[in-house]
Amino acid sequence: MSPEEVQDANVAGAVAALRQGGLVILPTETVYGLAADAANPGAVARIYEAKGRPSFNPLIAHVADLAAAERVAALDERARRLAEAFWPGPLTLVAPIRDSGAVCDLARAGLDTVAVRVPGHPLAQAVLRAFGGPVVAPSANRSGRPSPTTHADAVAETGFAAEVALEGGPCAVGLESTVVAVLDGPVRLLRPGGVTRAQIAAQVGPLADAEADAKRSPGRLTLHYAPDAPVRLNAAGAAPGEAFLGFGPACADDGLNLSPAGDLRQAATRLFAYLRAADRRRPTGIAVAPIPDEGLGEAINDRLRRAAGFVG
């Protein structure tokens, strides 16, 4: 997005809506979010309601920079190292809450920790700087559905509940942020995402196992990111009536190949949009080719397993 396009966007309208307790569809580099003033319990309640999200699943507080994050959360040396390496960008840190008024209890689902991230999208940055305080923003899908990676998909999901829906183009990453807990003990991976496990390990050493800790990341429900049609993984091809999401040169380049060249970054960008596109064909199911589990493939396979309804 060019500086002129940021200039032309309705940032002032979005900030006014947030100040009045309204909701805003906010583009980020990962996925589109449904944003509210993190300090306003009434506004936060509207997010849970619009998404149909269980209130035990806490939200991520978005802030403009590391200094703003440190006002909200107690970041230790490891957290600061990760922030300096990956912010602004697709990394969320879970750390002890420092200012429980700035990110209200409802937004944290009553936990004594807070998830905080600095998004890189220029429109998200403009809104956060103009607003001043933390903004909670879950993905703008209704609970359990694929995350929206375009303005049109976000509006189709939760636009009915938003005062302002900012257009920020297609999301560059296409998968949600990586969520890591930096509390007592080793750094733990709670949700794989746009920053890979290896990238994080290069900063703070090997990560503790994510799935052993799944209960501590309450958002990890069984059926999540799911289109309407049932999803079948590691498929060699489509059965009659199924749509097929391919990957790599061995699969047809038919408009639903996540990356004919076998590029995981490209596949990540396309994943949610292609699940939606496959769904629109009203298939009996969606079959998906095997995706390698390395790098961004870990997050892609995590979303696909959840879309297929497997416990992570």
Query: Could you list the residues that contact Mg ion (CB under 5 A)?
Result: 139
Chain Cα centroid distance, residue 115: 12
Q: Tell me how far CA of residue 74 lies from CA of 81, 96, 150, 199, 264, in angstroms.
A: 13, 5, 33, 23, 34
Q: Which stretch binds ligand TXA (CB under 6 A): 6-14, 126-134, 212-220, 263-271?
A: 212-220
CA-closest candidate to residue 126, choices 57, 39, 28: 28
Tell me which of Mg ion, ligand TXA, none is bound by residue 265, counting a contact when its beta carbon lies within the kind-specific cut-off of 5 to 8 angstroms: none
Q: Does 150 bind ligand TXA (CB under 6 A)?
A: no
Closest contact distance (angstroms) between CB of 228 and ligand TXA is 19
Residue from the set 25, 44, 127, 137 that interacts with ligand TXA by CB under 6 A: 137
Going by C-beta distance under 8 Å and a sequence separation of 6 or more, which residues neighbour residue 179? Answer: 60, 92, 94, 115, 189, 190, 191, 193, 217
d(CA 14, CA 165): 8
Question: Scanning residues 31 to 90, which ones bind ligand TXA (CB under 6 A)?
Answer: 31, 33, 57-60, 90
| Residue indicated by tokens 């998830």 | 115
Q: Does 118 bind ligand TXA (CB under 6 A)?
A: no
Q: Does 158 bind ligand TXA (CB under 6 A)?
A: no
CA-closest candidate to residue 135, choices 143, 125, 144: 125
The pairing of strands 113-117 and 60-62 is: parallel
Tell me which of ligand TXA, Mg ion, none is bound by residue 283, counting a contact when its beta carbon lies within the kind-specific cut-off of 5 to 8 angstroms: none
Question: Between residues 92 and 125, which has the closer beta carbon with respect to ligand TXA?
Answer: 92
Closest contact distance (angstroms) between CB of 140 and ligand TXA is 7
Q: Which stretch binds ligand TXA (CB under 6 A): 133-141, 157-165, 234-242, 246-254?
A: 133-141
User: What is the dihedral sign for C-alpha 79, 222, 112, 31?
Assistant: positive
Q: Which residues bind ligand TXA (CB under 6 A)?
A: 28, 30-31, 33, 57-60, 90, 92, 94, 108, 111, 113-115, 119, 137-139, 176-177, 179, 190-191, 216-220
